[in-house]
Chains A and B, each alone.
Chain A
Amino acid sequence: MTSALNPRFSFETFVVGAANRLAVTAGRTVAENPGSAYNPLFIYSGSGLGKTHVLMAIGHAAKTIASQLNIEYLTLDEYVEAFHAAIAAGQGDAFRRRFQNVDVLLVDDVQFLTNRKEMQAELLRLTEALQQSGHQIVLASDRPPAEIADLDERLISRFSGGLVVDIGIPDYETRVAILRRKAEERASKFQPGVLETVAQVEYPNVRELMGALNRLIAFQAVNDMPINEEAVRKVLGIATAASSTAASPTVASPTAASPDEFSQFLTDVTVTVGKAVEAWRARVTEAVMRWEGEGYRTGRLEKLLDQEQPAAVDDAIAAYVQDVERLKALEAEVAVLDPQAAGEKVFRDPDHMDEAEAAAAKVRDGAAPPPAPSAAFPLETYVVGPSNEVALNAARDVIAKPGKKYNPLVIVGKSGLGKTHLLNAIGLELARKKNAVVACLSTQAFVDELIAAIDGNRVDWWRARYRRATALLLDDIHLLSGKERTQEELFNLFNQLVDADRQLVFTAPAHPNTLEGLEERIVSRLEGGLVAEIVEPDKELRRSVLERLLTQQHLPMEPALLDYLADRPIDSVRSLTGIVQRVVEAAAAQDAPVSAGLAREVLEGAPPPRRTTGLRTSGIVVSSAGGVRSREKMVWDWPAAGDRVIEDLR
């Protein structure tokens, strides 16, 4: 029942002039900040002046900026029809819920609310609900709220409470610009002066102007020869340029006894002015109006007007237009990197192109890519064993098909099992791909960056930075606990990246649904991909890790040492690294070779006590201060009870 947005009706195809600039600016603002700028936005104008175009353009622009937004465009009649159908089917509540979930609601032709009390009540309720939940509502009508007959006072005040803007009849320059653009769109060429002649007629709306253009195009096609100004007058029934002005509806006034004298006077003045204002001045003025209307500074063109007879006016205008196009390109480029910087004035001043280029270059440089994965964790050095096989295989799949297979991939496991290593390894592999921008960082850094961005009023920039990422890898996602704003941002980022098939990888100490302080919507999204667990290293893995560590330290690969160390009760690779380090340091201190004996001595303190004393000890010495003195137990995690029994028996 909802009309689709017509793709032709975008801001890009809308010719902006003095009469509609406010409406377009307000529309753009609303599209950029739905729900927060002007809510509701109420646009009114006579028929055929572009209400629907602006309304749909808002929808397009909002969708382009945030693709996940739920945007609905419909006319009031469609709304009424849907409402009646819903009531008839007993689905009134469902109908209300449906519209309350729309992020940007665009309602056209609201003037038809006249004499529809129940729809007014319904729309009032909807407007309130949307406003309260921060959703945008934009309305269009052919008259201001207060002039819609029989409209509920509360609705009038609601509608007027946001921003009410009108679109007026386009002025001469805008009419020329519209005609030129439409002619261009239809690949129709006209002789100079033809479109200007058409534009001199003050058509009450753009639709009629288009009608006139259509007639010209048809006429030109039939006659197979370019139409000239004279023929235009005949085709469109314009007597002379001046009388057309005089004959326009605004002039025809029955109170004037004899308008002939005045009309004649007007004609004469028009001729004189036409002669006085040389054609080149008119062209320059037209260009000034056009670009000023689009928000560009026109000092350079205005300077031309100060001259008596400037040389090569058209070249100057062309050069100016070229500069403006370059500014547009720069601004578009910058907008991707840093939306806030794109609004800077420097991109609107063709007289200082160098400044604009410099500003763009600065943004380019400043648009530091998001933190990259650490090169210290290559995939090659990641030691595989049964305990981490699942996670590693998932990682390989992710590397082979980023964004396609497991999205997100959540690697869970206790501290020191190599989650960070695997995360960075995935990041490094993904970064090898062409045009890849891999963001890989700890959640704490992510939170800190956001705080800095909020502090520096650069949140847009921060967001843009991550939105560009082809993959986002966050270490220790549980640190998001209680960080509501970061969760909110991550949620949005998550959706955008997943929608665009970008890979997401997270690590967590435990299964996401057991993590505390994470919002349900985040948890459910984490659960939605693959949760791969890394468990405590098995003996095989420990052995591989030891071999690698010993090789790295250039130590002899003594089987007794390997066996002893691999059998040590440790619960993480990190602990294993730690004990090897201690043995190596002790060996260096004693200037003795690294051996199983030395390792035992270092790790267990004294050689195992002989049982001759008949005294059984647990191997733990409790100091008088109450602390645990065993060096091994003090520093490292307690081994599992079962392992300890074996230890004691050894």
Chain B
Amino acid sequence: MYGWTGNILRVNLSTKTHKKEPFSEEFAHKWVGGRGFACKILYDEVMPGTDPLGPDNKLIVALGPIAGIPAPNTGKCVVAAKSPLTGFYGDGNLGTRVSEHLRKAGYDAMIVEGKADRPTLIYVEDDKVEFLPADSIWGQGSYAANDYIYGKYGAGVGVLNIGQGGENLNRYAIIRSLEGRAGGRPGMGAVMGSKLLKAIVVKGTHPIPQADPAAMKKLGFGDLKKVHEIDKETGWSRQSTTGVLQFCNEVAGLPVRNFRKTHHPEAWHIDGERLNNARVATYGCPNCTMRCGITIHDDQGHESELDYENIGLLGSNLEIFDLPQVGCLNYLCDEYGLDTMSAGCVLSFYADAIDQGAVAGDFKFGDAMRAKQLLRMAALREGPIGNLLADGTLRMARAFGNNSLAYAMQVKGLEVAAYNCKFIPGQALAYGVSPIGAHHREAWIITFEIKHTTRESYGPEKAAKVIELQRIRGGMFEFLVACRFPWIELGWSLDNYPKYFNTITSLNWTLDDMWKTADRIYGMIKLNYLREFPNATREDDYPPAVWFDPANADTDGPIAGKVLERDKYDSLLQHYYDQRGYDNRGIPTKATLAKLGLEAEALAAEKFAALT
């Protein structure tokens, strides 16, 4: 078997033991890696009802056949667990040297079980696994912890660590790497914290098994150079993802004031042009030649690496139009190890709820100083307010009552990313049917919707586009594992990816094979959801109610007077279900599950909930 090391590393923090477990070729071909491995392992090993913050939850670090091998842009890994934020399967990806080192150490994935009896650092070097005390860095931020690890093991090792947010079980705590990368939005950092696991450090020294290493080396390095040339030619990385802010502001898709407004005349203060002018450094992931991490100095002099989601949700959404202040909020999230997107939505929801009279409080939109204090309180769970903010918008809305759930900007408990879908029906669908909650990673169709369809349409073409993008973005890139940016931002052909895969594995897959695997993985995650929530309904796939509320319509600009229409959204949702072969609850039918090769998993699900 080429392309896979053929082994999973299982470590148990309770017993301080580890095991190298081989997996079969059939398993490799069916689930490929990354998200595929993670969702299958968690389905088989973490039973419904398991406390996400208890010792029975498992943290998965998973890689795919092209991960870590030089090619565009393969320096990523998937982290997954049962989510403490959403209550079912959650995952994320992040750039890290772990992708290369874990594979070179001889593993395609790592399963972390149990709970340590004291703060612990797991050190993996090839066959050696050590459980080391991490008391000296427990309580420290992610940057300081990273510095300590680099000081001890050298800067070239692979690192996954958490900040104080994860230690204190903030439900949207993420995992950090490489002093700037972060991933695992649905609380993967809190799962690490619940296990008293401060960091995983990996060093691998063996070659990754490949069918034709010489051919792959030539292909991979050649393509990295070509991607770099395209980036230079198009100028994409002058602003990287942050050019999107002005686009969203132009088409009334920017989150402003907890998504109440869709555009703002002051948005230019925090746009990509201003960011590029303030740039002091640029960072990127391993195996990347189109580095997107534009870094500025925040108002305290810290380096802060910003992308669009950060400035959209910590900036315009909070009506903070001061770049160094937004930079500081972003820096604090990184230091504490919090998801910037959920943190931005939590703060904006809190300000909105106070505005609406749903709760008493002293936080107002535009108040950067108080926002910084609240972030710290949320990360450390300081006092009743910090404790409340640490639980995310869904639980906050339940605590506030007063119809505040309508404007808690989340789906299935995961906060929405920085695209305001007040009148962008297809993107609202993309949030609704994202398998892990409102993540933009799975599908982003705003340009397609505005350029190639009428914005008012709720037709089947939008559902089809969401599925097409889910297969690519949430599917192929997440199981191979690689970054989607060369494709989505520079137009790097999708055909390159089966080429890499086949050169590495000696298989002969086409893009259609990729899409079949992607559909299987989506079906697997939906079964996981059903098993945790046997009373699942199609309402679970609806975006926040405020986007349907005529009282929330813009009073000026491109979509003045318009909001989403509930009946029409429901018909769009039905188009999606029909095209996917899902039932009226959004769960794959038995026939669909059989087609996806998920018969055994369907039987396991039926012990907990009925299938149709």
Do A and B come from the same complex?
no
